[in-house]
A = this chain, B = another copy of it.
Amino acid sequence: MSAEIINVGDELLNGETVNTNAAYLAAKLQEFGIELHYQTTVGDDSLRIQKNLKRALSRSSIIIITGGLGPTKDDITKKVVADVLGKQLVSHEPTLSKIHNKLKDLTSSISKTNEKIALYPEGAQIIDNPIGTAPGIIISENGKRIILLPGVPKELKAITERNAILCFSQSREKNYVIKHQILKVWGTPEAKVGEVLEDIMGENKNPLVGLRVDVEEGVKVSITAKGGSVAIAQKLIEDMENIVKQKLGDAVYATGETSMEKVIGMLLSINKKTIAIAESITGGLISKKITDIPGSSNYFLSGMVTYSNESKIKDLKIPEELIKENGAVSEQVAKAMALAVKNISSANIGLSTTGIAGPSIGTTNKSLGLVFIGLATDNKGCQVEKYQFSGTRSMIRTKTAQTALDMVRRHLITI
């Protein structure tokens, strides 16, 4: 069973928009064990969409078309699909009501234009769009499945997340369902994760366990299970999730869509702990991540970006001699920074970063990517970890931020 994605939209062909939908859908298909063979982008052009759809029908069993479901003149996807399949476009009443409700204060001509959103090829299945008006559409025809999704990434994702099984379940029988889960790992390299999970990985297993890597989020372990019912598939997932967690231990920091900063926010809230951060190499990135989470003001007491030596001395009262003797990128300074920011803000946890992000290593004889992270806590004094990261300036900063947050997480799960 192979799939193909057709992304429709002029904005994807003039460089205005990076196509994130393709990678998102590709990952989803992967989770369901479906091979993606082709991805094509075409503009808002009837003839080109038509040609691509016909070609796709001749070679793929699942065809996902994104974009062109909206109300404007250049939104032509549904018309083209209906024409190719020899179907009529009919109006979907619930969607129509939704549109009328939403637009009730607007003029009737706008309302009229928007009624186009409710049209769908006769006989197709409508999937509700929880955050927008244009719904998803699934057409089953001669053993092929055509899935139409809106091009707005947030809407496409919202629809797909809620209906992944409906869209991608490989089994045509109603009594088979597929469930999947992602476990995120930080601090263990991909090769090591692969080694540890070797005996549960492999093709044609149920559940199927796979790996992929992301610079920002680390190693992602995906589990896909197939079962005779939702409960059975869910049980398979949960059992395997426990096995993976047991094998990898604390390295698993989150499941599903949850981010590291979300986990830390929850752990700080549950434990009623507060945090303060003194950033040098990360320059504000850790504070930015922590405050990405709504409600973070409850536990995030203070962030100090002490990028220059002067600022370390002035804002954090780090003794000038300490910096002179050891350099700003040192275990000693990381420790002093973490203790100082904890003390100044009266937080339960003080976190600090100092390192060399490059591109030049400045006047020191230390190596590019050398990083010290300090973690001062109420009972355990101050722990400092030394790292040697590789990559560009931006990658070194990203890895440092995530590793620092992970140190906080590992501390919080042991208290």
- Chain A residues in the interface with B (C-beta under 8 A): 12-20, 22-30, 36-43, 45, 48, 154, 212-214, 277, 279, 282-288, 290-292, 294, 296-298, 300-311, 314-315, 344-345, 357-360, 392-394
Beyond A294-B359, A307-B291, is A15–B285 a contact (Cβ under 8 Å)? no
Contact B13 A18 (CB under 8 A): no
For residue A279, which residues in chain B have a CB less than 8 angstroms away from its CB?
A: 284, 287, 303
List of 5 A-B pairs having minimum Cβ-Cβ separation, nearest first: A15-B27, A303-B305, A283-B291, A284-B287, A284-B284
Report yes or no: A38 in contact with B29, Cβ–Cβ below 8 A.
no
User: How many angstroms from the CA of A359 to the CA of B42 in the assembled complex?
Assistant: 35
| Cβ contact within 8 Å between A15 and B28 | yes
Neighbouring B residues of A309 by C-beta, 8 Å: 297
**Contact present for B345 and A311 (CB under 8 Å):** yes
Residues of B within 8 A of A16 (CB): 23, 27, 212-214
Task: Report A10 CB to chain B, min CB distance, Å.
Answer: 10
Chain B contacts for A305, CB-based, 8 A: 277, 284, 287, 291, 300, 302-305
Residues of B within 8 A of A38 (CB): 40-42, 48
The reply to whether A40 and B37 contact each other, CB–CB distance below 8 Å, is: no
A19 & B22 in contact (Cβ 8 Å cutoff):
yes
CB distance from A185 to the nearest CB of B (A): 15
Give complex CA distance A310, B303 in Å: 12
Residues of B within 8 A of A30 (CB): 14-15
